[in-house]
Each structure stands twice: as C-alpha cells, then as structure tokens.
Amino acid sequence: MAVMYKEKLYLFLQTLRATPSLLEKKYPEMTNFLQRQGNLQAQGTGNKVTDQEACFATELEKIGFTFLPKGSPNPDSGFYYKYQVNGSQQEGDFGLYAFQEGAAVKSHLIDLKHTNSKKFYFNDGWFQQGVIYIVSWNAGTAKYPNLKAHIALGQDVPSEEEKRFMAELREFRRKANAENRRVGSLFPYVRFANQYACENFTDETSKLHYDSVIEFI
C-alpha cells in the first residue's frame, strides 16, 4: 500500500509540474463540495474554496484518492485526502493518506499557493518544515502567460537570511500579542500580510526543490 501510494504521488506531482494549467480550471461542483466538507447540507467552511483547491481535489480523485471528512474514523484501506486538515487559517490545505488495516501507513501535508503574477500572499503564515508547497504562478505576462507550478518542501524555499528575519518578526508578533494591551476601546492584535516573490523559482531551482520533494516522499 505504501509503495502504491508513493507511485501515485510521484506521478501526480510530475503531472502537475509538467501541466500547471490543470490547476487553472473551474470545477463549481467540487468547489461547493469542499466548501461544505463533503456535507452538502452544511453551511460551509470559513474561507472560500479557491479554484486551485478545487482543481487539486479533482485531479486527486482522478488518480484514485477519496475524500475523507475531518474527524472520520480511519478507513480500513485505500487512498484518501482531507481538506483543511488543521483548519482554514493553518498550513496544510490538504492531507494525503494511505491506509492499511485501519492505520495510516503514509501521509503528507500539501499547501497550495496561487498568483497570476510573480508574487503570492502568505498572509499570517510562513513556510513550514515537512509541508509540500505547490505554488502556481505566471512567469510571463497577463497577455502572454507562462504558467508554472513550483513544487518544494517548506524548509527548502527560503534563504537563511529570510528564515532569520521571519523568526525575529514572528517573535515580535508573539510578544506584542501576548501583552494584550487595551487602548481605550481598541484591542490591538498584530497580523501579517506578507508576500513572497517567485523570482528565484528558476528552472534550476525548480528542479532542485522538486528532486528534494521526491526524495522526501
């Protein structure tokens, strides 16, 4: 089961990397399905499901992965995926699993980022170790697009300088919010709206990062 899972994931990532336009389509039924975590009677999740997420789930199901609602008991065996594993504001848009005899024998967290330009938003997050990131971006222009899918482990993307700076910035935020000061009727809370440039996602870097993901899997 673990070997089959790895083979499926290899092929899946290879296909997305070679054909990034697969993550640019629209699947309204899948969008609606994910928005309600598979329960079409529910009101829906907190954040709107993106087209990229609906595409990702659709492509997963094409290769034999089945949606598993959060909180469900482990299936006996098979390949499954969960959406927003750790909540709508946390890293890990999708969790992929291989189950055998009721236990998860392989699993990975996938986080998706999308931009029609050369910068994407991180908002309040940052690259997380052990998470596989798939960044859909446009290396061309709006008139002449050149779609790319950069696939990398969180620890491989940022430079040491960027890691140090973000560690300091996150510590500043932690301390500022821990004080929980009140100014009149204002309760301040520090959040980020960071962006990250794709300019270093060259063909050479893309291959290095992708090869690292394959080795990690």
Q: Tell me the three state secondary structure of residue 127.
A: coil
Q: Residue 5: CB partners within 8 Å, gap ≥ 6? A: 79, 96, 98, 105, 106
Distances (CA, A) of 33 to 27, 53, 76, 85: 10, 11, 23, 15
Helices 51-62 and 2-18: crossing angle in degrees, nearest 10, is: 130
Tokens describing residue 112: 């998706």
- Cite the DSSP H helix spans in 116-202: 160-179
Q: What average pLDDT does this structure show over 138-167?
A: 96
Share of the chain above pLDDT 90, in %: 80
The per-residue pLDDT for 42 is: 58
Q: Residue 208: CB partners within 8 Å, gap ≥ 6? A: 156
What is the layout of strands, in order, in the sheet containing 78-83? Answer: 66-67, 78-83, 94-100, 103-114, 131-138, 147-153
- Cα Rg of the chain (Å, integer): 19
Over residues 114-138, the pLDDT tens digits come to 999 999 998 788 999 999 999 999 9
Identify the band that residue 38 occupies on the pLDDT scale cut at 50, 70 and 90: low
Give the chain's end-to-end CA distance (angstroms, integer).
14
Over residues 61-89, the pLDDT tens digits come to 999 999 999 889 999 999 999 999 876 55
Report the C-alpha gap between 192 and 11 in whole angstroms. 35
